[in-house]
Amino acid sequence: MGSNILPITMPKWGLAMKEGSIVKWNREVGEEIKKGEALVEIETEKVVNEFESPENGTLIKKCIELDEKVPVGSLIAIYGDKETSDDEINKFIIEFNENFENSSEDSDINESATKKIKIEDLDINFFQIGDADKKNLLFIHGFGGDLNNWMFNQEELSKDFNTYSLDLPGHGSSSKDIKKEIEISFFTKNIVKFCEQNNLKKINLVGHSFGAGISIDIANKNKELVESLILISPIGLGKEIDNSYLEGFVSADSRRDLKKVLEKLYFDSSIITRDLLNEVLKIKRFDGISDALNLIKNVILHNELQKNDLRKDLEDIKIPISIIWGKDDNIIPNSHSSNLNGNIKVNIIDDCGHMAHVEKSQEVNSLIKETIN
């Protein structure tokens, strides 16, 4: 293969992704593109999202048509010199395809890569990827989510860290039979025990929304355990919250109703696919999940406002802390990040809603690395 030619391939976002299709090209042949700039928009079974260029280069060939589904790892574009001949490009494509192994054939193995650990009477589902000799990074999702919420973050950051993500009790594939009248400390204790059983002595926590509130509580009560905190749209720093989102998520039992609820999470709601809606509905219909979500909702809400005041706890923590907030967050206003002490770095991201780690994943990944390092 020509040394001046660089292949750009279909990325793998999350354990279950087998294939994807390009719904929009953001660059034309002959244009230069920098690493981190949006190259294409890709639709998977779960989401539509921008794929940012992994390298600097000049686009010299588009290798698939719009809306053509191809397996993960397939050649989608070629970077190279503008003077590269058609014969060189065609030879490169032929050699690439001859050597290409369809990784989607291993999807069953990938999906079974999650493990379960018993914490008291609960099964906790989790996924680990990365080198055990590197710093530990633990992701904690928000209300109604699961470990797949980190599909754009965990695999990328596993190149630099030993990463863990988990399904909180009452979510995903973890146990749904949780105790009544629980508080945020219930989740804190479970995650601390999770770390103990996995022999994680020091961790860097990335929490989203409700998971960010749990992260604050963990760091405040276990100062020797946590090295840094990255909080994405955290609860606990103010009173206002769109309680109708939580109520609507619990009650939605049709694709139409659920779509109206999930659209509140994003600046650009076109990210939501039909398959994603079907998958969330499937999970919501598991035995016990409605009861569990109602209990967890009451951990967050009281009289339609936020129940937990974690601001002082956060300001008492003496480790590196970054807060990441979408400027257009419709669930929890980013104004809650105002007037924190100067040791806490606040990052407000434009054109971004409540799910910054999905909508602006590369920017969030960079901020996570910057905070930890």
Is the CA virtual torsion 206, 207, 212, 217 positive or negative? negative
Helix (H) or strand (E) holding 277: helix 274-284
Tens digit of each residue's pLDDT (9 = 90 or more) over 138-161: 999 999 999 999 999 999 999 999
Of 48-62, 213-227, 308-322, the poorest mean pLDDT is in: 48-62
227 pLDDT tier (thresholds 50, 70, 90): very high
pLDDT band at 328 (very low <50, low <70, confident <90, very high): very high
Which pLDDT band, with edges at 50, 70 and 90, does 102 fall under?
low
What pLDDT score was predicted for residue 11? 86
Q: What is the mean pLDDT of residues 270-296?
A: 87
DSSP assignment of 79-139: E--TT--HHHHHHHHHHHHHH---GGGGHHHHHTT-EEEEETTEEEEEEEES-TTSPEEEE
Asked if pLDDT for residue 204 goes beyond 80, the answer is yes
Does 104 have pLDDT greater than 70? no
DSSP string, 18-67: -EEEEEEESS-TT-EE-TTSEEEEEE-SSBEEEEE-SS-EEEEEE-S-TT
Q: Quick one: pLDDT band at residue 103, thresholds 50, 70, 90?
A: low
Q: How far are the Cα atoms of 112, 156, 301 from residue 70, in angstroms, in the given order?
A: 22, 21, 44
- pLDDT tens profile 27-44: 999 999 998 888 998 888
**What confidence category does residue 276 fall into, taking pLDDT thresholds of 50, 70 and 90?**
confident
Length of the chain: 373
Q: What pLDDT does residue 109 have?
A: 39
Distance of CA 356 to CAs 208, 220, 226, 347, Å? 9, 24, 23, 11
Strand bridging mode 203-208 / 226-232: parallel
Q: How far is CA 183 from CA 173, 283, 299, 303, 314, in A?
A: 21, 23, 5, 16, 18
